[in-house]
Each structure stands twice: as C-alpha cells, then as structure tokens.
Amino acid sequence: MFNTMTITKVLGAVIGSLGAYLLLAWAGNALFTVGAPDGEDRVAAYVIETGSGAATEEASTEEAPDFATLYAAADAAAGEKVFAKCKACHKVDGENAVGPHLNGVVDRAKASVGDFGYSEALLAMAGDVWSPENLNGYLEDPKAYAPGNKMSFAGLPKVEDRANVIAYLAANP
C-alpha cells in the first residue's frame, strides 16, 4: 500500500507547503510592516495645529487624581475583579504558580518568597519593600519599573484599577 515513492511524495508536499508558508509570511511582513524599522524615527509629514493642545494637557493633568487619594478610597471587591487578569500567573492561596504567591505582598520585602526563582532585576531590589506606591509603579509598567524582570504582563494603565488591586491584595494577608 505505502511504498517509498508515496512516502517521498507526501514528505515533499509537507516540506513544500511549509516552504510556501514561510515565503508568504516573509513577503507579508516585508510588505505590511507597522511602525518604523529598528533604529529609525518616523517624522510626521505635517502637523495640524488646533490651538487646544496646551489646554487639553492641562485639563488631563488636573482631572487625574493622585494615587494616594485613590488608594485611600479603593474598593477591594472591584480589585478582585481586576485581579482576574493576574490569576493566570499568581495565586493568593500561599502557593506559587508561574509567578510568586501574592499573599501579604503589600509591605512585604521584595523578592522574599523563599521557594520562588526571581529574576536578577527583582533580586537587586531585595532590600526594599512592596509599599502601595511601589506596587503602583510596578503594576503600571513592570518592564519600566524593573527592566529585565520575567513578568510579561504589560501593566494596568488605569490608576483606579491599580489602587483597587492593591487594596484587594492588602486584604489578603
């Protein structure tokens, strides 16, 4: 039923299909690249002046309340809902997962869970504590707060979400 020629034809078809896919993927990436090539800056061809840029920046900075005010009024129940994004890697039951457990993380020393392998970036911060302000900075942009850490999460852009999550974590000692 199967002879050497049949197996050769099937193997050739699989390799040919893979080669065609790779060629099309390469051509697609070359034709439809989004953003600037590495090391180059894109400059806008023209700028439309509306005259309201400064007023908009002032309004946006005035509207955003500071973290301390939001944290004082944070809702742990709302934080539990936001924590659903974190559950893929972190637990609050005392057991480590992909990331360390977060029981008692508020005001805990950084890189202090004994049986977890921290990145060099977090081990370098070992003398500091996870205060609510430090957690706020970390959760806003983990890669910017601790360059080189292992956490692949992009962060929580809304300061209200960060305050609520930290309140939820503070409620789980």
Could you give the maximum distance between any two Cα atoms of the chain, in Å?
78
Could you tell me the two tokens for 91?
């637990």
Q: Is residue 108 part of a domain?
A: yes
Number of domains in the chain: 2
Confidence class of residue 173 from pLDDT cuts 50, 70 and 90?
confident
Looking at the fold, whether 18 and 88 belong to one and the same domain comes out as no
Structural domain harbouring 23: 1-31
Least confident of 39-48, 53-62, 78-87, 129-138: 53-62
pLDDT at 38: 63
Q: From residue 29, how far is each of 35, 53, 142, 163 by CA, in Å?
A: 12, 35, 29, 40
Looking at the fold, whether 2 and 73 belong to one and the same domain comes out as no
Looking at the fold, whether 18 and 76 belong to one and the same domain comes out as no
Looking at the fold, whether 87 and 163 belong to one and the same domain comes out as yes
By CB atoms closer than 10 A (0-12, 13-18, 19+), residue 150 is middle
25, pLDDT greater than 70: yes
Q: Is residue 154 part of a domain?
A: yes
